[in-house]
Chains A and B, each alone.
Chain A
Amino acid sequence: MSNSTVIRVEGLSKKYIIGHLRSEGYQTLRDSMAGALKNTGRRLLHPFRASSGQPLLGMPGTEEFWALKDVSFEVEKGDRIGIIGRNGAGKTTLLKLLSRITYPTEGRISIKGRVASLLEVGTGFHPELTGRENIFLNGAVLGMGRSEIKQKFDEIVEFAEVEKFIDTPVKRYSSGMYVRLAFSVAAHLEPEILLVDEVLAVGDAQFQRKCVDKMGDVGENGKTVLFVSHNMAAVKNLCNKVILLDDGVVLESGDPYTICDKYIFPEDIAATGTHSFRGGEDHTINFIRAETLNEKGEVTSAFRADEDIRFRITYSVEKDIWGSSLAINICNFDGTDLWATSDIDVFSTLFEQREKGMWIYECVAPGNVLRPGRYLVALGAGDVTGQYFHHPDPFPFEILEQGFWKGSHKSFGISGGPLVVPMRPEMPRRADTSEDD
């Protein structure tokens, strides 16, 4: 309750009504009228029963869902809070409530200072407009004034590295340029409180580093940051406090190292080599199934160290889309990304258009790269703005000691890092003698 409290959340709850019959969130008038009629009928038949209070929505086939339940916490000025938790734990809902995109069902949030939220980058970007025009538009959407944008314009362009293309419509940009420009605008916001969803998951590695640095700056300047992420390494790096959400409630909060380490993916995930993902979610791209196959084409979750690993991913595309990519991330068990591959890296036509239908995508990870141990595969499908269509929970596979490269220093164990890249050591020679000896 000290004076430096900038965000206070008290008993925050958010309820959603899910329709089982409709795939779309909105209703048609006919549904509503039918519902109202039914309610009136019910009221006539049972005049003394209390009405549901929601005559339009209280229809059969709907169900209440509490995305957040009685969440309370306080944030002090200058805190950098990481919000972690499994998919569907309520992280994004919490961020949406804090940024006033949606409103709570119960409870109260008090905020002191100017808030900027970054749930995706490039919100409001229009493909027909030029980079210059989009900077102004996007800036305004994020709450910057015109003079503020003008003042920072050169800095934004320079940070995004798109000087040459600033007067080209962004529909002609490559996905990298698009994302860099979009992030750059966001990075130059100067709010007192910054709310960030996993937008850092976009762009090339070098640019990501730049963004993490930029965000670190924000934290050090006495600004408050709330950061939702799956990336434990980034959370440990950036945050001084972590809130762990599970099923809409705060499971734990406190020191990032202790909590991130506790929140490792549970040991009991079935390791069968085939994983079906919960369907029925209305993403534009849905993952149906993922399999890991060995060199003989058998489905398995355990591989020899020198063996190629084939990932076979079945996904559905609901409509023809532009600008999407599908990524496979290999990570450590603590969630650190080791490497990632996107299908558009090689097949750029998929970026231009991904056609509707059911698809099978295969990708091979070479052997002799991973040290024996357990790893996770995280799949993600998204579009260039950093909006995730589907981001299922990761699944594990294992690299066995068998076939482990004989020349490597087995004795170092995992402390030698997760990768085994043959380095071709040469015999040491004396340094005190001259070259021509």
Chain B
Amino acid sequence: MEDQFDIIIEPDKGMTQYWKDLWRYRGLFYFLAWRDILVRYKQTVIGVAWSVIRPLLTMVVFTVIFGKLAKFPSEGVPYPILVFAAMLPWQMFSNALSESSDSLITNANMLTKVYFPRMVMPTSAVVVSLVDFLIAFCILCALMVWYKFLPGIRFLTLPFFLLLALMTALGCGFWLSALNVRYRDFRYIVPFIVQFGLYVSPVGFSSTVVPGKWRFLYSVNPMVGVIDGFRWAILGGDTRLYVPGFLLSIAVSLAIFWFGLLYFRKMEMTFADVV
């Protein structure tokens, strides 16, 4: 008798049904991302050009401040490329973080009126930031042509590091979006994390600047592993990956992702009641 029913709703519901639903709602996932991209530059004059201007200007500022004024070492590559290799993952991460942590709040109306696996929301927000990533990636290619810089074979490992960055962003997104529903304080905390993170992550400078004994501790910040990985893949040449630190960063990313997922699932049932 029991197995004839497709849906069983109980106070504590298992996860098997959920993953099936997530698959069934993959269309929604796509449409939400598509909506956010469409809406983004409506009623702006220069439109998509913003996606080019923002990273480009940030790169110029960082190059001038860290490369020219502070004279940080450039690991034998043009400083703009050193900066840009790090800005690729960082911008994606920070965009994904702010978008996904707000995603449930800005779509509160949908939460209270329609059923769908709530995980679709923060995830599609992360996907949107991938679009920015692709645009920035084209800029990087243009920069490399300009500086006549040829990446090595390691360039092909880039998707792996991209995946790591996505996982970190998604993990944080799960945490922050779920917390944001219950505690609106996070609306103010997230911009702070993003701003602060830019300085504690090796975006404007190479992580070799950090003294050796602190290097491992520094890698607790998962973005350190991601950015180092990106530089290792893009810059090639003498760049070396600090392996223990990198492994620690991966472990931290995985932990954030896994516990974020569990926390999100735990809180999900109450979203419609507290939002």
Query: A27: which of B27, B30, B111, B182 is its contact (CB, 8 Å)?
Result: B182
Query: A29: which of B32, B34, B183 is its contact (CB, 8 Å)?
Result: B183
* Residues of A contacting B13 in the complex (Cβ-Cβ under 8 angstroms): 103
Task: Tell me if B272 and A110 are in contact (CB < 8 A).
Answer: no
Min CB gap B224→A, angstroms? 28
Q: How far is the CA of A308 from the CA of B82 in the complex (A)?
A: 80
B102-139 interface bits toward A, Cβ cutoff 8 Å, 1 = contact, 0 = none? 00000101111111100000000000000000000000
The residue of chain B having its C-beta at the shortest distance from the C-beta of A24 within the complex is B184
Query: A124: which of B24, B39, B112, B114 is its contact (CB, 8 Å)?
Result: B114
Q: How far is the CA of A133 from the CA of B4 in the complex (A)?
A: 37
Q: How far is the CA of A140 from the CA of B7 in the complex (A)?
A: 20
* Residues of B contacting A162 in the complex (Cβ-Cβ under 8 angstroms): none
Asked if B160 is at the interface (CB within 8 A of a chain A CB), the reply is no
* Residues of B contacting A28 in the complex (Cβ-Cβ under 8 angstroms): 183-185
Query: A26: which of B8, B10, B116, B181 is its contact (CB, 8 Å)?
Result: B181
Asked if B145 is at the interface (CB within 8 A of a chain A CB), the reply is no
Q: Given A96-B272, A103-B9, A140-B27, is A133 in contact with B38 using a C-beta cutoff of 8 Å?
A: yes
B1-24 interface bits toward A, Cβ cutoff 8 Å, 1 = contact, 0 = none? 110111111110100000000001
* Residues of B contacting A8 in the complex (Cβ-Cβ under 8 angstroms): 5
Min CB gap A325→B, angstroms? 18
* Residues of A contacting B43 in the complex (Cβ-Cβ under 8 angstroms): 128
The residue of chain B having its C-beta at the shortest distance from the C-beta of A146 within the complex is B27
Query: B269: which of A16, A96, A103 is its contact (CB, 8 Å)?
Result: A103
Task: Tell me if B275 and A26 are in contact (CB < 8 A).
Answer: yes
B226-248 interface bits toward A, Cβ cutoff 8 Å, 1 = contact, 0 = none? 00000000000000000000000
Task: Tell me if A112 and B114 are in contact (CB < 8 A).
Answer: no
Min CB gap A22→B, angstroms? 11
* Residues of A contacting B116 in the complex (Cβ-Cβ under 8 angstroms): 141, 143
CB within 8 Å of B: which A142-197 residues: 142-146
Task: Tell me if B109 and A144 are in contact (CB < 8 A).
Answer: no
Asked if B42 is at the interface (CB within 8 A of a chain A CB), the reply is yes
* Residues of A contacting B269 in the complex (Cβ-Cβ under 8 angstroms): 102-103
* Residues of A contacting B112 in the complex (Cβ-Cβ under 8 angstroms): 96, 101, 119
Task: Tell me if B183 and A141 are in contact (CB < 8 A).
Answer: no
* Residues of B contacting A115 in the complex (Cβ-Cβ under 8 angstroms): 7
* Residues of B contacting A128 in the complex (Cβ-Cβ under 8 angstroms): 38-39, 42-43
Task: Tell me if A129 and B35 are in contact (CB < 8 A).
Answer: yes
* Residues of B contacting A29 in the complex (Cβ-Cβ under 8 angstroms): 183, 185
Asked if A137 is at the interface (CB within 8 A of a chain B CB), the reply is yes
Query: A100: which of B107, B115, B182 is its contact (CB, 8 Å)?
Result: B115
Query: A104: which of B11, B35, B42, B272 is its contact (CB, 8 Å)?
Result: B11
A5-22 interface bits toward B, Cβ cutoff 8 Å, 1 = contact, 0 = none? 000100000001000000
* Residues of B contacting A109 in the complex (Cβ-Cβ under 8 angstroms): 7-10
Query: B182: which of A26, A99, A143 is its contact (CB, 8 Å)?
Result: A26
* Residues of B contacting A126 in the complex (Cβ-Cβ under 8 angstroms): 35, 39
Asked if A407 is at the interface (CB within 8 A of a chain B CB), the reply is no
Task: Tell me if A129 and B115 are in contact (CB < 8 A).
Answer: no
Asked if B258 is at the interface (CB within 8 A of a chain A CB), the reply is no
Min CB gap A131→B, angstroms? 14
Task: Tell me if B9 and A101 are in contact (CB < 8 A).
Answer: no
Task: Tell me if A141 and B114 are in contact (CB < 8 A).
Answer: yes
Task: Tell me if B31 and A129 are in contact (CB < 8 A).
Answer: no
Q: How far is the CA of A111 from the CA of B184 in the complex (A)?
A: 35
* Residues of A contacting B39 in the complex (Cβ-Cβ under 8 angstroms): 126, 128-129
Q: How far is the CA of A144 from the CA of B27 in the complex (A)?
A: 8
Asked if A25 is at the interface (CB within 8 A of a chain B CB), the reply is yes
Asked if B50 is at the interface (CB within 8 A of a chain A CB), the reply is no
Task: Tell me if A101 and B10 are in contact (CB < 8 A).
Answer: no
* Residues of B contacting A231 in the complex (Cβ-Cβ under 8 angstroms): none
Task: Tell me if B113 and A120 are in contact (CB < 8 A).
Answer: yes
Asked if B25 is at the interface (CB within 8 A of a chain A CB), the reply is yes
The residue of chain A having its C-beta at the shortest distance from the C-beta of B1 within the complex is A1
Min CB gap B153→A, angstroms? 39
Task: Tell me if B5 and A123 are in contact (CB < 8 A).
Answer: no
Residue among B13, B113, B272 with max Cβ neighbours from chain A (10 Å)? B113
CB within 8 Å of A: which B157-195 residues: 181-185
Query: A111: which of B9, B31, B181, B274 is its contact (CB, 8 Å)?
Result: B9
* Residues of A contacting B6 in the complex (Cβ-Cβ under 8 angstroms): 111-114
Task: Tell me if A100 and B9 are in contact (CB < 8 A).
Answer: yes
* Residues of B contacting A145 in the complex (Cβ-Cβ under 8 angstroms): 27
Q: Given A26-B181, A27-B182, A112-B5, is A99 in contact with B274 using a C-beta cutoff of 8 Å?
A: no
Q: Given A29-B185, A137-B31, A137-B35, is A101 in contact with B274 using a C-beta cutoff of 8 Å?
A: no
Task: Tell me if B31 and A140 are in contact (CB < 8 A).
Answer: yes
Task: Tell me if B9 and A123 are in contact (CB < 8 A).
Answer: no
Q: How far is the CA of A172 from the CA of B269 in the complex (A)?
A: 36
Min CB gap B250→A, angstroms? 30
Asked if A32 is at the interface (CB within 8 A of a chain B CB), the reply is yes
Task: Tell me if A26 and B184 are in contact (CB < 8 A).
Answer: yes
* Residues of A contacting B113 in the complex (Cβ-Cβ under 8 angstroms): 101, 119-120, 123, 387
Min CB gap A209→B, angstroms? 25
The residue of chain A having its C-beta at the shortest distance from the C-beta of B24 within the complex is A143
* Residues of A contacting B143 in the complex (Cβ-Cβ under 8 angstroms): none
* Residues of A contacting B10 in the complex (Cβ-Cβ under 8 angstroms): 104, 107-109
**Smallest CB-CB A-B distances: 3 pairs:** A110-B5, A140-B31, A109-B9
Binding site for B on A (CB under 8 A): 1, 3, 8, 16, 25-30, 32, 96-115, 117, 119-120, 123-124, 126, 128-129, 133, 136-137, 140-146, 387
Ordered by A's residue number, 29 sampled pairs between the chains whose C-beta atoms are within 8 Å are: A1-B1, A3-B4, A26-B181, A26-B275, A97-B9, A100-B115, A101-B115, A104-B10, A106-B11, A109-B7, A110-B2, A111-B5, A112-B4, A113-B6, A119-B112, A124-B109, A128-B43, A129-B35, A129-B39, A136-B31, A137-B32, A137-B34, A137-B35, A140-B27, A141-B110, A143-B28, A143-B116, A146-B27, A387-B113
